[in-house]
Amino acid sequence: MRPVSPDEAGLARAARALQAGGLVAFPTETVYGLGAAVTDGGAVARVYAAKGRPAHNPLIVHVASLEAARRLGAFDGRAELLAEAFWPGPLTLVLPQRRPNRLSALATAGLDTVALRFPGHPVARALLAAAGLPVAAPSANPSGQTSPTTAAHVLADLGDALDPLRDLVVDGGDCPLGVESTVVDLSSPDRARLLRPGGLPRAVLGGLIGPLLGPEAEAPLRSPGLLGRHYAPRLPIRLDACEVGPDEALLAFGPDPLMGARIVLNLSVDGRLDEAARNLYAHLRRLDASDAAAIAVMPIPEEGLGEAIADRLRRAAA
User: What residue ranges bind Mg ion (CB under 5 A)?
Assistant: 139
Binding mask 246-285 for ligand TXA (x = CB under 6 A): ----------------------------------------
Cα–Cα distance measured from residue 46 to residue 20, given in angstroms and rounded to the nearest whole number: 13
Residue 108 contact partner, candidates ligand TXA, Mg ion, none, CB within 5 to 8 A by sort of partner: ligand TXA
Alpha helices in the chain (DSSP H): 8-19, 41-51, 66-72, 77-86, 122-131, 151-158, 202-209, 219-222, 273-288, 306-317
Radius of gyration of the chain (CA): 19
CB of 286 to ligand TXA, least distance (A): 21
Binding mask 45-84 for ligand TXA (x = CB under 6 A): ------------xxxx------------------------
Out of 114, 131, 169, 297, the residue judged to bind ligand TXA by CB under 6 A: 114
Out of 150, 181, 266, 268, the residue judged to bind ligand TXA by CB under 6 A: 181
Residue 45 contact partner, candidates ligand TXA, Mg ion, none, CB within 5 to 8 A by sort of partner: none
Cα–Cα distance measured from residue 33 to residue 31, given in angstroms and rounded to the nearest whole number: 6
| Bond prior to 88 in cis (omega within 30° of 0) | yes
Q: In what order do the strands lie in the sheet with 24-26?
A: 168-169, 24-26, 33-37, 135-136, 60-62, 113-117, 91-96, 182-185, 193-196
Cα–Cα distance measured from residue 169 to residue 183, given in angstroms and rounded to the nearest whole number: 25
Residue 92 contact partner, candidates ligand TXA, Mg ion, none, CB within 5 to 8 A by sort of partner: ligand TXA
Out of 15, 128, 212, 226, the residue judged to bind ligand TXA by CB under 6 A: 226
Contact positions with ligand TXA (CB under 6 A) in 205-224: 222-224
Query: Per rule CB under 6 A, is residue 104 in the interface with ligand TXA?
Result: no
Out of 117, 121, 202, 278, the residue judged to bind ligand TXA by CB under 6 A: 117
Which part of the chain contacts ligand TXA (CB under 6 A), choosing from 23-31, 42-50, 72-80, 299-307?
A: 23-31
Cα–Cα distance measured from residue 163 to residue 119, given in angstroms and rounded to the nearest whole number: 26
In one letter, which amino acid is 137?
A
Q: How far apart are the first and last CA of the chain?
A: 34
